[in-house]
Structure 1
Amino acid sequence: MLSRKEHDCEAIALPEEWTKKVETLLNEVYQSNCKEVGKVFEVYGSTYPSEFVFITSLINPENDRITPVTYFISKDLDPSTKPEKMLDDLVDSIGAFYDIYFSTPDWSDFQAEWLETEFKGHKFFYKISRENVALHLAADKLLKLQ
């Protein structure tokens, strides 16, 4: 499960058009850094009635055995949430994280537990792992077929 909370319903994926737009943006902004480490960004997002989950994963597209760096965001949703502003600000928080990651040569500050933080007035939770999200989603799909 990729979400922070337990849910009784299936996640609704964010529109692919939006996740691809963010993926393209990250790959353009960090192009020289990505080239240097031989990795690219993948972006995933979904919503539940009470939670928004957004994930960026810096992966090696040639070899899934090379450990990715994956940044998870979980934000509680309520009726007053303004989705466009929230999404823009959370994308900015992703940039803030990867700015630190790429500027620290031996970065290894993985945080597998959800931590609460605030960025641009939005309280949200984050975790940083080595999880390969694409493999996780493929495994979930296989388990649902059984």
Structure 2
Amino acid sequence: MFSRLDHDTPPVLFPKDWAEGLKQILLNIYGEKCIKDEKTFEVYGFSYPTEVLMVISYVGLDKFVSPITIFLSADLAEKTKTDDIINDMFDSVGVFFDSYFAKAENQDEIWDDYVLDWEETEFAKLQFFYKVTRENIGLSIEADLLLGE
């Protein structure tokens, strides 16, 4: 559904305590901005046999406010150190939100750096892919559950 690659098997969702732990880290770092913006973070992780996917949304407490969502995808091989990949991907999320909040504080600049197609990048010697959208992942997941997908 959200993955960069086509898969024959459904994803394994990362545990809720993992997602909650990452959310708490983000709130500890960006909590003042969240309060000011009346927003919070949602964190999702999906694992496929050949791909790991992390999705983090900066969502409004009012569900009608459009979120900023970053998708990060990395290829998995048999000897891949998944924990290292996830840690590096999460570190890159910090760089992304640092940039986002820096522009948000400067009223002369409007943040519009959306990347709708997967782009390849390197961070901490890790090659991975990312895209940035306004998709509300929580609502997309709820819709798929209602539709039985």
The TM-score with structure 1 as length reference comes to: 0.95
Q: Residues of 1 paired with 2:92 and 2:145: CA distance?
A: 30
Q: Does 1:129 align with 2:101?
A: no
Using the TM superposition, give the Cα deviation of residue 144 of structure 1 relative to its aligned residue in structure 2, in angstroms: 1.1
Q: Residues of 2 paired with 1:36 and 1:109: CA distance?
A: 21
Computed over aligned residues only, the root mean square deviation of the Cα atoms, in angstroms, reads: 1.0
- Which residue in the other structure is 2:107 paired with? none
Q: Does 1:90 align with 2:89?
A: yes
SS in 2 for 1:18: helix
- Give the residue type in structure 2 aligned to 1:144: G
Where do 1:9-88 residues align within 5 Å?
Answer: 9-61=9-61, 63-88=62-87
- Give the residue type in structure 2 aligned to 1:125: F
Q: Residues of 1 paired with 2:20 and 2:3: CA distance?
A: 20
Report if aligned partners of 2:50, 2:77 keep a CA contact under 8 Å in 1.
Answer: yes
- Give the residue type in structure 2 aligned to 1:60: G
Q: Which runs of 5+ in 1 are unaligned?
A: none
Using the TM superposition, give the Cα deviation of residue 57 of structure 1 relative to its aligned residue in structure 2, in angstroms: 0.2
Residue among 111, 114, 123 paired with 1:119: 123
Report if aligned partners of 2:74, 2:85 keep a CA contact under 8 Å in 1.
Answer: no
Using the TM superposition, give the Cα deviation of residue 18 of structure 1 relative to its aligned residue in structure 2, in angstroms: 1.0
Q: Residues of 1 paired with 2:85 and 2:118: CA distance?
A: 19
Matched pairs, number: 144
- Give the residue type in structure 1 aligned to 2:54: F
- Provide the identity percentage: 38
Q: Which runs of 5+ in 2 are unaligned?
A: 105-109
Using the TM superposition, give the Cα deviation of residue 28 of structure 1 relative to its aligned residue in structure 2, in angstroms: 1.1
User: What does the per-residue CA deviation read over 1:10-65, in whole Å, with 9 as the maximum and x for residues that have no partner?
Assistant: 1100111111100111011101111121110000001000010100000012x211
Q: Residues of 1 paired with 2:19 and 2:76: CA distance?
A: 19
Q: Residues of 2 paired with 1:77 and 1:68: CA distance?
A: 28
Q: Residues of 2 paired with 1:89 and 1:111: CA distance?
A: 20
The TM-score with structure 2 as length reference comes to: 0.93
Over 2 Å off, 4+ runs? none
- Give the residue type in structure 1 aligned to 2:82: P
- Give the residue type in structure 2 aligned to 1:66: V
